[in-house]
Chain A
Amino acid sequence: MTGYRVAGRGRVDPDARLRFIFDGRSYEGLHGDTLASALLANGVHFVGRSFKYHRPRGIMSAGVEEANALVGVDRGRGRYTPNTRATVLELYDGLTAESQNYWPSLRYDIGAVNDIAAPLIPAGFYYKTFKWPASFWNKVYEPVIRRSAGLGRAPTAPDADRYASRFAHCDVLIVGAGPAGLAAALTASESGARVILADENPEIGGSLLSDPAVQIDGKDAWNWLEEARATLAGRANVTLLTRTTAIGYYHQNFLGLVQRLTDHLPAAASSLPRERMWKVRAAQVVLAQGAIERPLVFDGNDRPGVMLAGAGRSFLNRYGVKVGNRVAVVTVHDSAYLAAFDLARAGAGVATIVDLRRNPRAALLAEARSLGIEVLSGWTVTATKGRARIAEIRVNPVDQNGKVGAARMIGCDALLMSGGWTPSVHLFSHSKGALDWREDLQAFVPGAPNEAVRCAGAGNGTFGLAAALAEGAAAGAATAGSAGTPTVFSVDGEAPFSGVYFRELPTDRDPTRAKAFIDFQNDVTAKDIRLAVREGFRSIEHVKRYTTNGMATDQGKTSNINGLMIAADAVGKPAPEVGLTTFRPPYTPTTFGAFVGYSRDAHFEVERKTSIDSWAEANGAVFEPVSLWRRAWYFPRSGESMHEAVARECRATRRSLGIFDASTLGKIEVVGPDAAEFMNRMYTNAWTKLAPGRCRYGLLLGEDGFIRDDGVIGRLSDERFHVTTTTGGAARVLATMEDYLQTEWPDLKVWLTSTSEQWAVIALNGPNARKVLEPLVQGIDLNGEAFPHMAVREGKICGVPTRLFRVSFTGELGFEVNVPARFGLSVWKALIEQGRPYDITPYGTETMHALRAEKGFIIVGQDTDGTVTPHDAGMSWAIGKTKPDFVGKRSLARPDMQDPKRKQLVGLLTEKPETVLEEGAQIVDGPYAAVPMPMIGHVTSSYHSETLGRSIALALIQGGHGRKGETVYVPMPGAMHKATITDTVFVDKEGAKLNV
């Protein structure tokens, strides 16, 4: 048993001894301890240094609000977690943790010079100091600040843990399993409602865990608690989540909960996730978050050994640890007496209670007297002494006029402070509920809600056990509707709970020299806040940012109200008029892993694969992402560069035969008696006269007249069209069509069905394409006259049904073989086999792009950017001039859309044939124009053309159609390239290769 452990107290298991290492030293703790309670049991208070002044800091709380005791926890490679609050870090055998923010050692820290230099580092120090000279910022100031700023060290190895996430639905979500939350859960779940009860602690109970003596329904608190737990666990409609923090409360009762599953275990199965994010949609929410004790503001209130009174009580009653052997108390609230009394009874020496109030309750004074505790009422604390731990406090009487009398020193090894309690309204505030100011509590409490939410207990400003239980039960009953009747609880032994509020404690010393901390984690003092107001900051949000008050990882849980009250005083306005800074999720620091969940590695994003993908992979394809698909980019042979591979693929396709997986094309079946009319209205082209068995290139515009999508569309019968879309546009085009059909033209008898995934598509291109197909195809006459360019036939290939399109995106004799997806790979392999005599060459998207560019075929989204009309793209031919209407027609008639100076698609040939322009490069008229040069367009597509043995490019240039033959310039890094504007078709301008 270590020096500060109290036998018979707490919920720790005295027989389950654990070893742990802190800062390289081995200690013993008990199962049920936190790192904080185990360190205190070993007499260790000094556990870290502060952020700015590197002051020694101790453990100030026993919960999530901890601002000082932040440690790094090392669970092995890829499992280092910085900034963990020692007060919620459950002890396990072998735990290894280290303190933070010092160099070279916790005890001898060079950064502590900042404490001596404190007068030189006021609020806004960074804003004021690192201004000049400008060039110093990047090279000197920022690197130095970055090295010294920040808390803890970020891990560098990839996170080795797994993280889970899930959705959940319930009738009632209750946050907080203290008395109010338990009462709500017991009542709400009686009627069979689906209830989720979440609490951030390892076990339910909340304040009852620190208050074992009180009685509920005639039972000791902990017995009552165990019965409540068993009741809830026995109800199938209740999901009890411990170690689960509600981190954020979003619209329509959507809350994020993070459940910690393995951090408390010495070793966990690797199949188990470390944490699970619960994304909960609740019909009703009950918030029972409790309250957080306020620190008092006085010089030296941050010295190790100074802690919140409630924490002192928790360490004793919950963990069986006394925080000192000679404890002093300073308070403005009754609740601190309870800590003093419990400690005194446990044998810890309690020296003195300093109560700022002149007339504490007689009952408290009597009990103090009976325990031999001196009470100094109407006194103040004006300083503390001690280096690594508090050794003395300086106390002074305050007279009725507020005058501070002569000081007296009191020796102590711990100082408990209580400035009253702040209801935790964080989640309620996330949900945009209004906050009301309670003058009697000097605190904000939940006001008008913005969601289906009720608040209960201390978090609602309802203090006292009986009141919290009653309010919780009422909230639980209300969520169950008329079925619910609030359970009635009787309470015995409840202690008084009242107090007053003080900003800075009165002092006889110069307050401008006091280090009276408000925000312990960010080292913000009372005088920093007053300085900010003096310097002109009035908004509490500005004061927060200027001083960084409340901006540390604890998000101001202990500092916001103290900061607000001092700012309000300095501004000269009442606190509610100054208002509170915004609460933002997450409630407590949350791992990135919990947010990432399964979205990492191969599951970071969907990778769609075609039925032929496995062949491409086996044959050495290099892939590129195209929307969500992975597509074969090119097929390098051994030793080939990308350029060589693409050149070879281009040559083979133009000279003999190339094969290409075009399965990613979107496909939509448009069916019905009005199918042709529907197509007329959607696409720019005319469809009425397109005969069954023929295809047409279709152009789809938005209402604004700009090109949105394109594709070849085959008419299978009078009432059936097979529409193809771009790869990326498939879902969007179908949704657009369905939208028009349902909302604009419900009169049309048309059905739309996506068939994108039904068909695998194999494109065969090259002079020998027909020869390879002929032996494999049944029921289709492939002869050029029977099956001309831009025709579609249904038949069989290799015995498998096919929709065979004669189309070409390369300018060569081309076919697109549509077969049922499950046969895509088999047909592909059969074609490869059949094509061997012709040196059939698989090609990827890069060759496809280059070949189509040689023909001037556009790619929507590359050669168009959402501001290109059909005319701009040189495709006026695709517009059905006599059609009464189509989507975008009216916009095309606007004068601006017919401006001859619009950017128009043209070809570009560089002066030097080997120069391949950069796609996206800007185009200017002359190399010597004044800077900034007027930019007249940009390069949209650019390739080395293997067919021409030189580079080619497509570009959008102002008035380009009328400028063919003119010279323009393309500035690129290192050179200004000269180029001639040309037609967009570079190869086989008359299309002779298609008419075979």
Chain B
Amino acid sequence: MTMIDFSLRRSPLAHRGLIARAASDAAAREAGVTLGEQPHRCQINLRGDAGDSGFLAAVEDVTGLRLPVEPNTVATVEDLSALWLGPDEWLIVGPGGREGDLTGGLRGALEGRHFAVTDVSEARTVIAISGPHARDLLAKGTSLDLHPRVFGPGRCAQSGIAKATMILHQLDANGDGADGAGADEQPTFEIYIANSFADYLWTWLERAAAEYRVAVTAG
């Protein structure tokens, strides 16, 4: 019986050897842009009625997250976030490995309601972009206005980047969600990109970032 070693989960950028290429912390700090892959994130697509307070409460019970209802915003509690994708659609993201308990927990808690919980963790990888030129790099590919007055930490959007489509999330500064200090000068963005587009987008980003100093980080 051939059993597959789960450590062989292979991200769509595995062949790029990004971990081996990762720059030192010092080099990363001096770079205009850092790029890194976060390959195995738990991603659950959730559909349901935001007007149903019972639905929101049930989701909160399982995840601790109050689903955002303001368009293009993100709710974050500890290591879970809910990205608003539409009036009745969210992407719940968290550390890889949570897929089973989250899908199971949500389906159980939402029993009897009109909902859909779909594990899409395998569908996209995450590319993190940070540094003083992160916005300049993104502006090369997306027509979204990412100016701090318009976008900012805790916001997300579905849009195009280069010739691919993405979900974009600007992280809270320092990841603690407390304040936006530093986010203006050193913003961190995450791009959720479908597997089949990942290699195209990664190479595109590296090429477009070449005029700034670019460093690869280990995720």
Interface residues of A (CB under 8 A from B): 162, 164-169, 194, 271-273, 279, 281, 598-599, 602-603, 605-611, 614, 629, 669, 671-673, 749, 751, 753-759, 775-776, 798-800, 820-823, 825-827, 830, 833-834
A776-B2, A826-B4, A826-B8 known; A169-B122 Cβ under 8 A: no
B47 interface residue per 8 A CB criterion: yes
Query: With the chains together, A614 CA to B16 CA distance in Å?
Result: 11
Beyond the given pairs A751-B116, A821-B12, 10 more chain A to chain B contacts, judged by CB atoms under 8 angstroms and listed by A's residue number, are A164-B208, A166-B139, A194-B149, A603-B203, A608-B200, A671-B47, A672-B114, A751-B115, A821-B123, A834-B2
Asked if B123 contacts A830 (CB within 8 A), the reply is: no
B21 interface residue per 8 A CB criterion: no
A166-B140, A607-B200, A757-B196 known; A751-B47 Cβ under 8 A: yes
Mask, B178-219, CB within 8 Å of A = 1, is 000000000000000011110110011001101100000000
* B140 contact from A165, A754, A775, Cβ within 8 A: A165
Asked if A169 contacts B147 (CB within 8 A), the reply is: yes
Count of interface residues, chain B, beta-carbon cutoff 8 Å: 50
Query: With the chains together, A194 CA to B149 CA distance in Å?
Result: 10
Asked if A603 contacts B204 (CB within 8 A), the reply is: yes
Which residue of chain A is the closest to B15 with respect to CB atoms?
Answer: A614
* B4 contact from A753, A755, A823, Cβ within 8 A: A823
Asked if B2 contacts A609 (CB within 8 A), the reply is: no
The residues of B that contact A165 with a CB separation of less than 8 Å are 140
A757-B124, A821-B122, A825-B10 known; A167-B150 Cβ under 8 A: no
The residues of B that contact A834 with a CB separation of less than 8 Å are 2
Taking each of B150, B195, B208, which has the highest tally of chain A beta carbons within 10 Å of its own beta carbon? B195
List 10 contacting pairs A-B, 8 Å CB cutoff, sorted by A.
A272-B211, A607-B199, A610-B196, A751-B114, A755-B120, A775-B1, A776-B1, A823-B9, A827-B4, A830-B2
Asked if B207 contacts A822 (CB within 8 A), the reply is: no
Asked if B2 contacts A279 (CB within 8 A), the reply is: no
Asked if A598 contacts B162 (CB within 8 A), the reply is: yes
Question: From residue B186, how far is it (CB to closest CB) to chain A in Å?
Answer: 16
Query: With the chains together, A776 CA to B47 CA distance in Å?
Result: 34
The residues of B that contact A607 with a CB separation of less than 8 Å are 199-200
For chain B, residues 1 to 37, give those with C-beta under 8 angstroms from any C-beta of chain A. 1-6, 8-12, 15
* B122 contact from A671, A757, A827, Cβ within 8 A: A757
Question: From residue A292, how far is it (CB to closest CB) to chain B in Å?
Answer: 33
Asked if B136 contacts A611 (CB within 8 A), the reply is: no
A598-B204, A603-B204 known; A609-B199 Cβ under 8 A: yes
Asked if B123 contacts A755 (CB within 8 A), the reply is: yes
For chain B, residues 124 to 155, give those with C-beta under 8 angstroms from any C-beta of chain A. 124, 136, 139-140, 142-145, 147, 149-150
The residues of A that contact B47 with a CB separation of less than 8 Å are 671, 751, 753
* A758 contact from B120, B197, B211, Cβ within 8 A: B120
Q: Which 6 pairs of residues, A with B, have the shortest CB-CB distance?
A: A751-B116, A608-B196, A757-B123, A169-B145, A751-B47, A820-B122
Asked if A798 contacts B163 (CB within 8 A), the reply is: no
Taking each of A610, A614, A776, A821, which has the highest tally of chain B beta carbons within 10 Å of its own beta carbon? A821
The residues of A that contact B194 with a CB separation of less than 8 Å are 757
* A669 contact from B3, B118, B124, B196, Cβ within 8 A: B118
Question: From residue A267, how far is it (CB to closest CB) to chain B in Å?
Answer: 16
The residues of A that contact B114 with a CB separation of less than 8 Å are 672-673, 749, 751
B62 interface residue per 8 A CB criterion: no
The residues of B that contact A758 with a CB separation of less than 8 Å are 118-123
Question: From residue B112, how far is it (CB to closest CB) to chain A in Å?
Answer: 11
Asked if A603 contacts B211 (CB within 8 A), the reply is: no
* A798 contact from B3, B122, B164, Cβ within 8 A: B3
Question: From residue A747, how far is it (CB to closest CB) to chain B in Å?
Answer: 12
Asked if A799 contacts B196 (CB within 8 A), the reply is: no
Asked if A603 contacts B207 (CB within 8 A), the reply is: yes
Question: From residue A265, how far is it (CB to closest CB) to chain B in Å?
Answer: 14
Query: With the chains together, A646 CA to B188 CA distance in Å?
Result: 49
B98 interface residue per 8 A CB criterion: no
The residues of B that contact A825 with a CB separation of less than 8 Å are 10
* A833 contact from B2, B121, B123, B145, Cβ within 8 A: B2
A271-B210, A598-B162 known; A609-B115 Cβ under 8 A: no
A609-B199, A749-B114, A830-B4 known; A598-B207 Cβ under 8 A: yes
Taking each of B3, B122, B204, which has the highest tally of chain A beta carbons within 10 Å of its own beta carbon? B122
The residues of A that contact B208 with a CB separation of less than 8 Å are 164, 598
Asked if B143 contacts A167 (CB within 8 A), the reply is: yes
A165-B140, A776-B2 known; A603-B123 Cβ under 8 A: no
The residues of B that contact A759 with a CB separation of less than 8 Å are 122
B72 interface residue per 8 A CB criterion: no
Asked if A602 contacts B203 (CB within 8 A), the reply is: yes
Asked if B207 contacts A672 (CB within 8 A), the reply is: no
Asked if A821 contacts B195 (CB within 8 A), the reply is: yes
The residues of A that contact B200 with a CB separation of less than 8 Å are 602-603, 606-608
